[in-house]
Amino acid sequence: MPKVAVVEDNELNLKLFRDLLLTEALEVVDTMDGTKAYDLINNERPDLILMDIQLQGMSGLDVIRQVKADDQLKDIPIIAVTAFAMKDDEAKIMESGCDAYISKPISILSFMERVRFYLGIKEEQRMIC
Ligand code: MN
């Protein structure tokens, strides 16, 4: 079962992401604390990371840089999730090394399309729950 790590400090968003991922029969590990994200990712070795940018304590961009600087972890795809999408921010987000980013409020269809794309799940292999 593919595993997705979710780093998100907003309880409602975290619940939404968890529910969507569980509907796809994916395993979910999560933290709301940016300072715990690196250890979570290092311990769990997820197949995909969803990373909120605006976190308490530590920017999601710094977590992304940390993960992408680690040879053991750098190949894990990261989708950044952000509430702001100004042109400057967009460049900063992509420079951090993430593979893609989506803005909140998310479109559920395109969110799931991204997730399936990075996990290599084809439509016909989807599990119906
Ligand atoms: Mn946040």
DSSP letters spanning the chain:
--EEEEE-S-HHHHHHHHHHHHHTT-EEEEES-HHHHHHHHHHH--SEEEEESS-SSS-HHHHHHHHHT-TTTTTS-EEEEES---HHHHHHHHHTT-SEEEESSPPHHHHHHHHHHHHT--GGGPPP-
Q: What is the pLDDT of residues 49-60, one digit of tens each?
A: 999 999 988 999
Please state, rounded to an integer, the average pLDDT across all residues of the chain.
91
Distance in Å, CA 125 to ligand 1 centroid: 32
Distance in Å, CA 123 to ligand 1 centroid: 30
Q: What is the pLDDT of residues 1-44, one digit of tens each?
A: 999 999 999 999 999 999 999 999 999 999 999 999 999 999 99
pTM of the model: 0.91
Distance in Å, CA 75 to ligand 1 centroid: 24
Cβ < 5 A residues, ion ligand 1: 9, 52, 54
- The predicted structure's pLDDT at residue 108: 93
Distance in Å, CA 83 to ligand 1 centroid: 8
- pLDDT of residue 127 exceeding 60: no
